[in-house]
Structures are given as C-alpha cells and as structure tokens.
C-alpha cells in the first residue's frame, strides 16, 4: 500500500486526523462541502433533512477502497473526491434522476493529513455543484489499528422530477441500444499509470476524474428509454446485466462502437500503439468512465449525446458483438475477460 504523501508540507503531518480529532475533521470538511439546493437541515445535526420535490427519492451507495479503486500517489485528494462523487451521481442519472445530495462514510488511518480530507471534500463539492447537489452529512472515523487503507462509502440521493424510473429490466426485442459518454478512457489511463507514465494527460485525467454524462440520463428517460444502466464494470459486463434483467440478447455493433468511441483517433490509439494493445479492449471491458447504456424503442428520436451502438434481439439472454459471443470477442481483442476487475 502506498503511504500518504505529505501533500503540502510538514504542517500537514502534524495536522492529522489524530491531532484534530473527529469533530475537527468534520468541521473542516463541512466548510468545503458547498450547500445542496434541497437541504432544509444540512450537516451538523443527527441527520440532514432534504426536500424530495418528486415525492420519491433515488438512493444508491458505492464504496471506494484505497489500493483497489484509487491510489494516493496516482490521484490527488481532489481527484478521489471527484471520482467517488461521480460513481454515485452517475447511478442516479442511470435511473433517469438528478442527484441532489451526498452522504459520506469515511474510514481513514489516524495519521491521514486533514488537508487530504479537505481535498476530497473539495473534489466532491466541485463534482456535485453543477447539479445543485452537495455533501449534506457523513461520518469520519479512524481505521482499525494496523489497517492503513482509506475506505470511502458514498451515498447519493436524487430526484426523478416526475419521471418513471428507468430500470435495467425494460429492454425489448427490436429496441435500439445506445451509449452516452466515453468508454475505455479510464482503463487506458490506468494502463498508462501502471507502466509508470503520466501522459497522454487526457487519458490519465480521464482515469483520475471521470466525466459521466449526467444530463443524458434524465434526457433518455424523457425520450422513452426502455432500460438504462451506468457502465461501471465495463460495457460487455453491464450490457450483460441489462440483458439478463430484461431477458434479451444485447447485440453490440462492432463498427458502430469503433466509429463512436475510437474516431477520430486520439490518445487511446496512441497509448494502444505504444503498448501493443487493441483499444477496443478498453472500450468493451474498461470500467469507471460511467458512461450510460440505454435501450430505446426503434424509431425513437435519441436525445443529444446518445449514439446507437447495437440492437436488442430475442434469444437466450446475453451479449453479442456483431453476432459473436461477448466472451470470444473479449479474448480476440486481448481483454481476456468481459468484466472490469479493479486494479487491486
């Protein structure tokens, strides 16, 4: 495990969680939290109280573990905050909702610099702010003795604005399959970092801070999407979840994926050429970009940002790529597996 670096000098090492204490940390983090438009009672009481304009609330939790989902020598504190928030905000978008608030459970070693925690809070606040969301509560505790890794558990809440939630189970034969957002960039960036490089920066930055297409989720719901999910485990894996839950075959169009995700050529081709890899492997199996995958009735007008990359067919539930089984395609592009496995 990579030990924390003193991020801004010697002062931080003295100014650790152990020294400042739980309440000191909370006060400093709250100062960075921004404020949620829906908050009637914000941080600092036993619980937050949030308006739920729709009369329903969307709720989801994702856990990030240091050494598995991020490394403190590869990502700044702000990067980790952006990434932890994005993973959850994207899940709300994938239901057709708009995120309104985050709650954060954090376990960290007692010697964690408070500046690192403030950086995480600032990153979360920055990722949330364009949506009007903010961190409204949480709990910070010291890890167990001898356990040096940070664990960050984030819960996002959101509002559906009157929309019906878009589930994974609604895809029907004849629907088109579409994607919004980027695929493969985070995995490409990780491949760069793993080899000890830090450029091309566009790929590395994509790994450090994903850019999920938040607005595409509610737009898809408004456009009549029949099923939707967030791509966090990789396209083949998440399409597989959607196919299984809907009882259908999701057939991805290889040429459409190349056209949509790999043209015009950019950093992914550059890195792939240097590493002797096939960039399609990252597109098909890379996780953590938090693109959205959805199905729409054939003939539906797709909202801005969505591109058709396949179609839904009847048959034994599963995923094919231009008719070929996903597992075979994963092997042929050198991915070796259909699902994303985090780097720990």
Determine if residue 96 is labeled as part of a ligand binding site.
Answer: no
Q: Check residue 97 for interaction with a copy of itself (CB under 8 A).
A: yes
* Binding to a copy of itself in span 230-269, by CB under 8 A: 230, 245
Q: How near is the Cβ of 97 to a copy of itself at its closest, in Å? A: 7
Determine if residue 139 is labeled as part of a ligand binding site.
Answer: yes
* Binding to a copy of itself in span 298-327, by CB under 8 A: none
Cα 205 from Cα 328, distance rounded (Å): 31
Triad 165, 168, 169: Cα angle to 5°: 100
Instruction: Give the pairing of strands 318-321 and 249-252.
Output: parallel
Give the CB-side neighbour count of residue 52, counting CA atoms within 13 A: 10
Determine if residue 61 is labeled as part of a ligand binding site.
Answer: yes
CA 14 to chain centre: 33
Stretch that binds a copy of itself, among 96-104, 179-187, 191-199, 314-322 (CB under 8 A): 96-104
Determine if residue 246 is labeled as part of a ligand binding site.
Answer: no
Q: How near is the Cβ of 96 to a copy of itself at its closest, in Å? A: 10
Q: Which is nearer to a copy of itself, 156 or 235 (CB)?
A: 156
Q: How near is the Cβ of 45 to a copy of itself at its closest, in Å? A: 5
Cα 9 from Cα 30, distance rounded (Å): 23
Determine if residue 138 is labeled as part of a ligand binding site.
Answer: yes
* Residue from the set 17, 26, 98, 106 that interacts with a copy of itself by CB under 8 A: 106
Q: How near is the Cβ of 62 to a copy of itself at its closest, in Å? A: 5
CA 7 to chain centre: 25
Q: How near is the Cβ of 87 to a copy of itself at its closest, in Å? A: 9
Burial of 46 (0-12, 13-18, 19+ CB in 10 A): exposed
CA dihedral 142, 148, 149, 155 (to 10 degrees): -10
Stretch that binds a copy of itself, among 104-112, 119-127, 269-277, 314-322 (CB under 8 A): 104-112
User: What is the pattern of x (binds a copy of itself, CB under 8 A) and - over residues 166-195?
Assistant: -xxx--------------------------
Instruction: Look up residue 63 and give its two tokens.
Output: 């856990």
Q: Which is nearer to a copy of itself, 53 or 305 (CB)?
A: 53
User: What is the pattern of x (binds a copy of itself, CB under 8 A) and - over residues 264-303?
Assistant: ----------------------------------------
* Residue from the set 157, 180, 236, 257 that interacts with a copy of itself by CB under 8 A: 157
* Binding to a copy of itself in span 209-228, by CB under 8 A: 228
Closest CA to 72 of 3, 154, 123, 156: 3
Determine if residue 69 is labeled as part of a ligand binding site.
Answer: yes
First to last CA, the chain: 10
Q: In sequence order, what DSSP letters do the residues of 145-170 get, joined into one string?
A: TT----EEEEEEEEE-TTPPP--TT-
Closest CA to 39 of 124, 154, 157: 157
Q: How near is the Cβ of 238 to a copy of itself at its closest, in Å? A: 10
Triad 11, 74, 184: Cα angle to 5°: 150
Determine if residue 60 is labeled as part of a ligand binding site.
Answer: yes
43-47, long-range: CB within 8 Å, 24+ apart, which pairs?
43/135, 43/136, 43/137, 43/138, 47/137
* Binding to a copy of itself in span 29-88, by CB under 8 A: 40-41, 44-69
Listed in sequence order, the DSSP H helices in 211-336 are: 216-222, 235-246, 254-262, 267-275, 279-285, 326-332
User: What is the pattern of x (binds a copy of itself, CB under 8 A) and - over residues 137-156?
Assistant: xxxxxxxxxxxxx-x-xxxx
Annotated binding site: 46, 60-62, 69, 91, 138-139, 168, 230, 232-233, 288
Annotated binding site for Mg(2+): 46, 60-62, 91, 139, 230, 233
Annotated binding site for ATP: 138-139, 168, 232
């Amino acid at each position: 495990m990579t030990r924390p670096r003193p991020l801004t000098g010697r002062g931080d090492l003295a100014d650790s969680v152990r020294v400042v204490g739980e309440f000191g940390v909370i006060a400093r983090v709250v100062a960075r939290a921004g404020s949620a438009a829906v908050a009637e009672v914000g941080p600092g009481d036993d619980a937050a109280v949030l308006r739920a304009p729709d009369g329903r609330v969307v709720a989801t939790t994702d856990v990030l573990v240091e050494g598995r989902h991020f490394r403190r020598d590869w990502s700044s504190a702000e990067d980790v905050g952006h990434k932890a928030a994005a993973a959850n905000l994207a899940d709300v978008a994938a239901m057709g909702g708009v995120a309104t608030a985050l709650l954060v459970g954090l376990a960290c070693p007692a010697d964690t610099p408070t500046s690192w925690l403030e950086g995480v809070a600032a990153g979360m606040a920055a990722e949330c702010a364009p949506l009007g969301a903010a961190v409204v509560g949480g709990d910070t505790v010291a890890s167990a003795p001898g356990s040096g890794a940070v664990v960050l558990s984030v819960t996002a809440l959101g509002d559906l604005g009157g929309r019906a939630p878009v589930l994974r189970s609604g895809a029907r034969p004849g629907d088109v399959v579409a994607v919004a957002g980027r695929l493969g960039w985070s995995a490409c960036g990780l491949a760069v970092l793993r080899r000890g490089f830090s450029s091309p920066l566009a790929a590395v930055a994509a790994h450090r801070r994903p850019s999920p297409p938040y607005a595409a989720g509610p737009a898809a719901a408004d456009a009549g999407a029949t099923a939707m999910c967030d791509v966090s485990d990789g396209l083949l894996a998440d399409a597989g979840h959607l196919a299984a839950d809907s009882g259908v075959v999701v057939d991805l169009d290889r040429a459409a994926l190349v056209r949509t995700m790999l043209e015009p050529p950019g950093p992914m081709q550059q890195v792939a050429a240097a590493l002797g890899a096939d960039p399609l492997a990252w597109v098909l199996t890379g996780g953590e970009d938090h693109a959205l995958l959805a199905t729409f009735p054939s003939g539906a007008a797709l909202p801005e940002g969505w591109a058709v990359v396949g179609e839904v067919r009847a048959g034994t539930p599963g995923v094919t790529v231009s008719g070929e089984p996903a597992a075979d395609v994963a092997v042929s592009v050198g991915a070796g597996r259909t699902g994303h496995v985090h780097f720990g």
